[in-house]
Structures are given as structure tokens and as C-alpha cells.
Amino acid sequence: MVALAGGVGGAKLAHGLARILPPGHLTVVVNVGDDFERYGLHISPDLDTVMYTLAEIANPSTGWGLVDESWQALTMMAQYGEDTWFRLGDRDLATHLLRTDALRSGQRLTEITARLAHKLGVAHTILPASDEPMATMVHTREKGILPFQQYFVKYRWQPTVIDLQYEGGDRAQVSGEVRAAVAAADLLVICPSNPLLSVAPILAVAGLRELIEQRQMSCIAVSPLIGGKAVKGPTAKLMREMGHEPSVLGIARFYNGLIDVLVVDSEDQQAIGQVLSQFPALSIFEMPILMKTVADRESVAQRIVDLI
Amino acid sequence: MVALAGGVGGAKLAHGLARILPPGHLTVVVNVGDDFERYGLHISPDLDTVMYTLAEIANPSTGWGLVDESWQALTMMAQYGEDTWFRLGDRDLATHLLRTDALRSGQRLTEITARLAHKLGVAHTILPASDEPMATMVHTREKGILPFQQYFVKYRWQPTVIDLQYEGGDRAQVSGEVRAAVAAADLLVICPSNPLLSVAPILAVAGLRELIEQRQMSCIAVSPLIGGKAVKGPTAKLMREMGHEPSVLGIARFYNGLIDVLVVDSEDQQAIGQVLSQFPALSIFEMPILMKTVADRESVAQRIVDLI
């Protein structure tokens, strides 16, 4: 099984899948459009969120970062007069240091991620969407063009988005590992991540969308919206700003051609008829998809597996 | 005033001098032979010890590293299976990150050190002995050739030293800042640092020894040995292994030609006659030089200033 995932929301379902599938049966392909450099460190926020979540060492209250984290390095950075809007935790720094050092020595992000995840006890495969650098650039009305982390963290996704660019996507190559995983998959799951900020940059990797469109296996998307609202984060706000209806209908339209099945929350049951009238080839299933606990993650994952 | 200093012992006297001299009147030229790279970070242990000590944020119990330090990043490194013999503290990491990032962007170590020290409130000048990389290599009987930090930290200076090399010293240039500081100095103080591991690599920077030998100002060395013993660290052991008598006589012989005045501890009073008989041009002063408290540091510094 292959899952496409971005940050916190996607990592939750990936975690559920990881827990119910036998070791080695899941490959999570992760967005790298959020990657950026800070203090010379290569930071891959989504890769880390997925890795920490699958390793069960993620911070349970934020969903990102590490449990038992501390902020001493950042406090010292502030003492040096540095701007500390990006919250680099002390334990988290170890990941960034090892990744950056390995990248500088010429290793591929795919290999590095595999080694780090293995060391943390992750029994499945985590693959960056590409080994090439990508950058989601957010064109905003109030602040101009912002690199993703500035939009998301520094300005807390408050500026109005007028356009998005997935820089480097056309030059980025699908790695052999991603190609092989998609080719071998029985099922592809698009996790309930932000379609525009997490899934679109994965699909923007040159050739990846085509690879999925030509697929033999089923492709299922789990709605990131429940009752027109995001569980957390800017999905609904951003869809609206970018001209997409912030609803399961908007999600169906966004993934049209890519998916065979859309999973929506039970709360959106009454919208199913409308979606089906516009996308009659789509299968729609409803189930409770809000994942508050690890048991919820497992239960949603199990129901998805049972759908096949 | 210019002071040559290595790590902990040298930093103590530099701190005393910094406290009694008006802001801007002291330049500390610091050994960079201990510098090394770890996880892609450029680490300058002696520069940091001097900077933290002058900023009064050094760990008072070890003399190196930062007060209120924690080791979360290192614990995470261990979780990744990394060898953690070099104790990189969380707060300390901020220094290494900022320095490394600035070096990669093409800034000189001298400029970077000035900026970091200024941000930490240091009112005097701290200069690396050179902007070029240097590496003290320790030839040992038991472990072969070791980079300095492996000898010193990993093997806790236990291997027998048969030779020392200051790699890069002949290629390293005296920076304009060091040249100007030495030229403008009324007094040059060689701090009670390890002569072979801290002072010799400073003097090994091409042209620096000649600059001091041609000096107009007085040059004073403070003995790093008291009663033939090092206050801390391998000075006596190493001098013995390298064929130098571990005594104030050995120190006088080591600095012969470079210094006008040798300051020894009151405990070594009876050795003064012997030193003078061999080095009649040398002036020798005895005073309590053990610096246990900040008041001790100030008192030794004040007595040295009063000597001029």
C-alpha cells in the first residue's frame, strides 16, 4: 500500500495504516515542498512529522515535533539576536544535523530518510516525494510571495493566498523508490492532508501524477474536510481563497481523475448525492474519519483496508 | 593589551584581565588548533571557552561549555545510533550553527567571532589565531595519530604522546586584526594555557612567532604549572612525554626568546634561582597564581598589570 501524506493530518492516517499493516507493507510518500533551510540546516517538516509519528515519538499535543522536546538552543539563538519564529527543538536538531550532514556528503534524501526512520524503529518505508529540492511558494495579497514556512509558521497562514507555485516540481524527478512503490501497490491512499499545500506538491513532482493516473490499483482519498471545516490548519480557508469549494464536493473535484474512491465523514452524508451526481464514476464511502486517538487512527485505517 | 589563550586555564586569566581593563583595551588571541568538524558543524572549543568565560555564561563547574546546559540533542543523536563522545550541549549548538552557517556564507572566523561575542555582551576583542583552518594532530604510542579532540575528549588525554603537529600552521596567515592588535599592544601576556596544545599552535600560525619576537612591548608568560603540576589537564604529563621538564624551568626554556617576564606561583619560589641562572635576561615574579574564584582572576590580572 502506498499513502501520500503531508504533515499532521496525513501522518495520523499513515500511523493508523502502519499499525494495522504487517511491517514493510506500507510506503508513505511524503511532501517535500515545505522543506527549507534554516541556519544552514536542511529541514523537512513533513518527513519529520511522518517519521516521528510512525516512530511514536511525536509530540502528542501539537502533532508535529518530538515528545519531551526542549528549546534551549532556540533560547540561545534569541540571545544571539536571532529571529526565532521557526521553533527548532533541541531533540529535533539531531535529525536536522544528521540529515544535513548526510546530504552534504552526497547521500540522497531517500537513503537518509530510510536510515533515520530505521534507527527510530519505523518498520515501514517513508519516501520523500523527490530527492530534488522543491519549494512551495505562497503568493499572498498582504505579504507578497512567501516561502511556505514563512506563510505557515511566521504568519500563521493568516495572509490571503492568491496563488501557489510548486517551485522545482518540474525539475524534480520521481525516484526509483517511489516509482517502484507505486508500481507494486495494490492500493494508493491519499491521506487527509491539505490538498493544495501537501498533496499537490507531491503530485507536482514531474511524472508522479501520470504514474498515478496510469495506475492499475485503486486510489482512495480521505477527505481532509469534515462538514466543510478542516480538523486543524488552513485547508478550508485556503481552498476558498484559491477558488475551490471548501467541501467534500470541492475535494472530489480536486482529485477528479486521480481517485476511484472518496471517503467522507459521516457528518457529510447528505452531500454524497450531490457529489455522485457530478462524479458518477466515483465511489463514495462515509465513516467517522475524525482521528483523535490512536484507536481512531487504527479504526479509520482498518475500514479503508476493508473497503478493497 | 594582547593575551594569548587556549581553553579553560587561559580563559580564566583573560577573564580577570577583561574585568579590570576598560572596555576595548584587551584583545585575546585564541588557539584554533582544537577546531574540528562534527555533524557538519565547525566547532571552535577554545574560542567558545574564552567567549563564554568573558561573557560570564560559562559553566562554572567545568570551565567549558555553557551554564544551565542540557543534552537533549545529544540524547537524540544516541537514539540515532551516533557515537556521542563529544558532548555537544543544546545551548552550545546555537553557537556552532551560527558560526558554521556564517562560515559557509563566506564570512571570516574573525568577523563571526566578533559578532557572536558582541551579541553576548563581551566588551573586549576575541580573535582566532587565524582565519585559516588548523588542526593539532597528536601522535600517540597506543592509538596512532589522533585529531586533537579524539586525544583530549574521547581518550581523555591518556595515550602517551610521542609527537605533535600543528597542521595548516604554515599555510595559515596572521589576520590583519591579529597583526594590528600585536603591533598596538603595550603588553603581551601568554596565559597559563598548555604550552604545547594551546600556545604552540597559536605561535605556529605563519609569521606570528616572528611578530612577537620583533615586538617593542613587554611579553609576560604566566606559568601553567604550580609545583610541577598542572592545575587541571595534561600539561605536566604532556611536557614530560615530549621531553620538556614539567617545571617552571621547563616553561622558561619553552618560552625562551619570546618572553621578558615569567610569573610563577609563590609555591615555586625556590626554583627562581635555578631559572635565573640559566636565563639571566629573564625577569621572574612570584605571586599566588591559582585562580579558584573570579576575585582570584582579577587579583592575578591586577598584579600582572601592576608589573609593567
pLDDT of residue A232: 86
CATH of the domain at A273: 3.40.50.10680
d(CA B60, CA B179) in angstroms, rounded, equals 32
Q: Would B241 be classed as within a structural domain?
A: yes
Could you tell me if A17 and A83 are in contact, meaning their C-beta atoms sit under 8 angstroms apart? no
* Mean pLDDT within B99-107: 97
Does B161 map to a domain?
no
Is A93 in Cβ contact with B73 (below 8 Å)? yes
Residue B237 CA to chain centroid, in angstroms? 18
Q: So what's the pLDDT on residue B301?
A: 98
At B253, the amino acid letter reads R
The position carrying cell 458518477 is A280
Residues in chain B within 8 Å Cβ distance of A90: 70, 72-73, 76, 90, 93
Cα gap B85→B24, rounded to integer Å: 37
Angle subtended by helix axes A45-54 and A90-104, to nearest 10: 120
| CB of A195 closer than 8 Å to CB of A166 | no
A121, A163 contact by CB (below 8 A):
no
A145 falls within a domain:
no
Cell numbers at A253, concatenated: 473535484
- Report yes or no on A208 lying in a domain: yes
| Residue B227 confidence (pLDDT) | 95
Q: Is residue B160 part of a domain?
A: no
**Which position has the grid cell 504533515?**
A7
Residue B215's pLDDT is 81
Q: CB neighbours (10 Å) of residue B71?
A: 18
In whole angstroms, how far apart are CA B211 and each of A237, B87, B136, B179, B216? Answer: 67, 36, 21, 8, 10
Q: Which of A81, A90, A119 sits opposite B90 (nearest CB)?
A: A90
Tell if the CB–CB gap between A70 and B75 is shorter than 8 Å: no
Give A266's DSSP letter. Answer: G
Whether chain B has a CB inside 8 Å of the CB on A94: the answer is yes
Query: DSSP letter string over A57-114?
Result: -B-TTTSSSBTT---HHHHHHHHTT----S---HHHHHHHHHHHHHHHTT--HHHHHH
Question: Which residue of A48, A66, A71, A79 to mutate against B (max B Cβ within 10 Å)?
Answer: A79
Sequential pLDDT tens for chain A (308 residues): 999 999 899 999 999 999 999 999 999 999 999 999 999 999 999 999 999 999 999 998 888 899 999 999 999 999 999 998 888 999 999 999 999 999 999 999 999 999 999 999 999 999 999 999 999 999 999 999 999 999 999 999 999 999 999 999 889 999 999 999 999 999 999 999 999 999 999 999 999 999 998 888 999 999 999 999 998 889 999 999 999 999 999 999 999 999 999 999 999 999 999 999 999 999 999 999 999 999 999 999 999 999 87
ipTM higher than 0.95? Answer: no
Give the residue with greater pLDDT, A214 vs B12: B12
Contact A80 B98 (CB under 8 A): yes
Give the total number of structural domains in chain A: 1
Tell me, yes or no, if A87 comes closer than 8 A to chain B by beta carbon: no
Q: Please give the pLDDT value at position B232.
A: 86
Question: Which of A90, A112, A120 should be substituted to probe chain B, the one whose Cβ sees the most B Cβ atoms within 10 Å?
Answer: A90
Judged against a pLDDT cut of 90, whether residue B135 lies above it is answered with yes
The predicted pLDDT at position B87 comes to 87
Angle at Cα A264 formed by Cα A216 and Cα A223, nearest 5°? 70
Pairs of CB atoms within 8 A across A/B: 95
Query: Phi, psi at residue A256, to the nearest 5°?
Result: -55, 130
Cα of A55 to nearest chain B Cα, Å: 12
Can you read off the three cell numbers belonging to residue B50? 574564552
Contact B40 A97 (CB under 8 A): yes
Distance (Å, whole) CA A15 – CA A13:
5
Query: Which chain A positions have a beta carbon within 8 Å of B91's beta carbon?
Result: 72-73, 75-76
Residue A298 belongs to a domain:
yes
Contact A198, A5 (CB under 8 A): yes
Asked whether the beta carbons of residue A80 and residue B120 sit closer than 8 angstroms, the reply is yes
Query: Mean of the per-residue pLDDT values for chain A?
Result: 95
Q: How many CB atoms neighbour CB A159 within 10 A? A: 18
pLDDT at B162 over 90: yes
Residue B159 counted as domain residue: no
Q: Do A80 and B104 touch (CB under 8 A)?
A: no
Q: Which residues of B touch A69 (CB under 8 A)?
A: 72
Contacts made by residues A270-275, CB under 8 angstroms, sequence distance 24+: A271/A247, A272/A248, A274/A249, A275/A248, A275/A249
- For chain A, what is the total number of helices (H) and then of strands (E)? 13, 14
Contact B231/A at CB under 8 A: no
Quick check: A75 and B91 CB within 8 A? yes
Whether residue A172 is contained in a domain is answered as yes
Range of the domain at B25: 2-135+168-307
Q: Is the pLDDT of residue B85 over 90?
A: no
- Contact list in A for residue B41 (CB cut-off 8 A) is 97
At residue A86, the pLDDT reads 86
Cα(B32)–Cα(B22) distance, rounded to whole angstroms?
A: 26
Cβ partners under 8 Å of residue B56, min gap 6: B15
> Which chain A residues are closer than 8 Å to B40 by Cβ?
97, 100-101, 104
Res. B7: pLDDT tops 90: no
Average per-residue pLDDT for chain B: 95
User: Which candidate from A76, A92, A101 shows the least CB-CB separation from B91?
Assistant: A76
Q: What crossing angle do the helices spanning B90-104 and B109-119 adopt, rounded to 10°?
A: 140
Task: Give the SS3 label for residue A294.
Answer: helix
**Each residue's pLDDT tens digit, B45-57:** 999 999 999 999 9
For residue range B208-238, what is the model confidence (pLDDT) as tens digits?
999 998 888 999 999 999 999 998 889 999 9
Minimum CA–CA partner of A114 in chain B: B80
Whether A103 contacts chain B with CB within 8 A: no
When CB atoms are compared, the residue of A40, A81, A120 closest to B101 is A40
**Which among A68, A73, A89 is the nearest to B94, CB-wise?**
A73
Q: Which residues of B touch A121 (CB under 8 A)?
A: none
User: Per the structure block, which three cell numbers stand in for B238?
Assistant: 604532556
Q: Each residue of B255-299: pLDDT tens digit?
A: 999 999 999 999 999 999 999 999 999 999 999 999 999 999 999
Q: Is the pLDDT of residue B63 over 90?
A: no
Predicted TM-score (pTM) of the model is 0.94
